[in-house]
Amino acid sequence: MSFGIVVRNPGGDTLIDSKFLNYSLAASGTATCKVGVTNIPLPFVVSSTSPPIICAAQWAGSGKIYGVTASGVPGAWSYFSVRVRDAPIALQWQVYATDLPIAEQWAFLVNNSNGGKVFDSSRRMLTFSGEVSGVVSRWTRIGGSPYVNGRDDLYHYSSSPVASGQYIAIGVLPFAFFGVTNSSLGQISVVTEVGFGWASQGTPLLYLESFMDAPSGTFPRGIPGAVFYDLPSMPILNI
């Protein structure tokens, strides 16, 4: 590029580049999420064009998250919603976004060629130390069974990559996906709902519930085999 700034660490990794937006910490907190949908307000309206990235630390208990959604419109995000099943959870959350107001009186700022702020030293920058992979082979099926027109399956992650106090970008996980499965009538469409929780300290779990696109009772033996496709990875944040 003919102008701008690039900051790299001793390993050659790019930390700041005036051509790219950096996500920074907008807000954090703790909320009790009941079974059902809980709306968590942000302390101010986030003016980023792209939706904020919602992150969560490990919570205790059997509660699973079945959906995380930033609510608002581009340029005005005011809260996010969390859908929980099985049991309430105490959620420690962080929200990262771009185009945030300066958090301190003195700061080092980097703007791009359009005058937009791409880096602000007064806020914690979003950086990652690893990931919870979405590749099917990284998950171990623990159990599951068919039921009329569907089935459910439980998966544990193959390792424990999330350290105590770390957050994961849970908001990037798709909590439903569409696929196909074989049946006595040929291939049929299936929708699978995804529940995310914890098997043990640092070990994520997925609970998948799949439903066939057919009238009730059409397939009394349900779906014979598990329905699971590769999903996007969830980044693990630096502590």
pLDDT tens-digit readout, 74-103 = 999 999 999 999 999 999 999 999 877 666
Tell me: do 112 and 148 sit in the same domain: no
Q: Is 19 helix (H, G, I), strand (E, B) or coil?
A: coil
Kindly state whether residue 239 falls inside one of the protein's structural domains. Answer: no
Tell me: do 54 and 75 sit in the same domain: yes
For the entire predicted model, the pTM comes to 0.84
Residue 55 burial (C-beta neighbours within 10 Å; 0-12, 13-18, 19+): buried
Tell me: do 122 and 140 sit in the same domain: no
In this prediction, residue 107 has a pLDDT band, given cuts at 50, 70 and 90, of low
Alpha-carbon gap, residue 78 to 174, rounded angstroms: 21
Alpha-carbon gap, residue 151 to 134, rounded angstroms: 20
Tell me: do 112 and 164 sit in the same domain: no
Q: Tally the domains of the chain.
A: 2
Tell me: do 103 and 16 sit in the same domain: yes
Element (H, E) at 13: none
Tell me: do 122 and 139 sit in the same domain: no
Round the average pLDDT of the chain to a whole number and report it.
87
Tell me: do 172 and 206 sit in the same domain: yes
Kindly state whether residue 238 falls inside one of the protein's structural domains. Answer: no
Tell me: do 139 and 119 sit in the same domain: no
**pLDDT tens figures, 138-188:** 999 999 999 988 999 999 999 999 999 999 999 999 999 888 887 777 788
Alpha-carbon gap, residue 122 to 150, rounded angstroms: 50
Residue 227 lies in domain:
134-233
> What proportion of the chain, given as a percentage, has pLDDT over 70?
84
Q: CA-CA distances (angstroms) from residue 201 to 73, 119, 165?
A: 36, 34, 11
CA 129 from chain center: how many Å? 15
Kindly state whether residue 138 falls inside one of the protein's structural domains. Answer: yes
pLDDT top residue among 217 and 107: 217
The answer to whether 35 and 26 have CB atoms below 8 angstroms apart is: no
Kindly state whether residue 1 falls inside one of the protein's structural domains. Answer: no
Alpha-carbon gap, residue 30 to 192, rounded angstroms: 29
Tell me: do 76 and 138 sit in the same domain: no
Alpha-carbon gap, residue 125 to 16, rounded angstroms: 10
Q: CA-CA distances (angstroms) from residue 121 to 27, 99, 101, 105?
A: 15, 13, 12, 11
Tell me: do 92 and 116 sit in the same domain: yes
Tell me: do 10 and 62 sit in the same domain: yes
Tell me: do 26 and 107 sit in the same domain: yes
Please identify, among 126, 154, 182, the residue that sits at the C-terminal boundary of a domain.
126
**pLDDT tens figures, 113-148:** 676 666 666 677 888 889 999 999 999 999 999 998
Kindly state whether residue 12 falls inside one of the protein's structural domains. Answer: yes
Please identify, among 100, 126, 152, the residue that sits at the C-terminal boundary of a domain.
126
Kindly state whether residue 219 falls inside one of the protein's structural domains. Answer: yes
- Spell out a b/e string for 77-101, using b for 16 or more CB atoms within 10 Å of the CB, else e: bebbebbbbeeebebbbbbbbbbbe
**For 125, which DSSP code?**
B
Residue 32, both tokens = 């009790």
Please identify, among 107, 126, 145, the residue that sits at the C-terminal boundary of a domain.
126
Residue type, 219: F
The answer to whether 31 and 91 have CB atoms below 8 angstroms apart is: yes
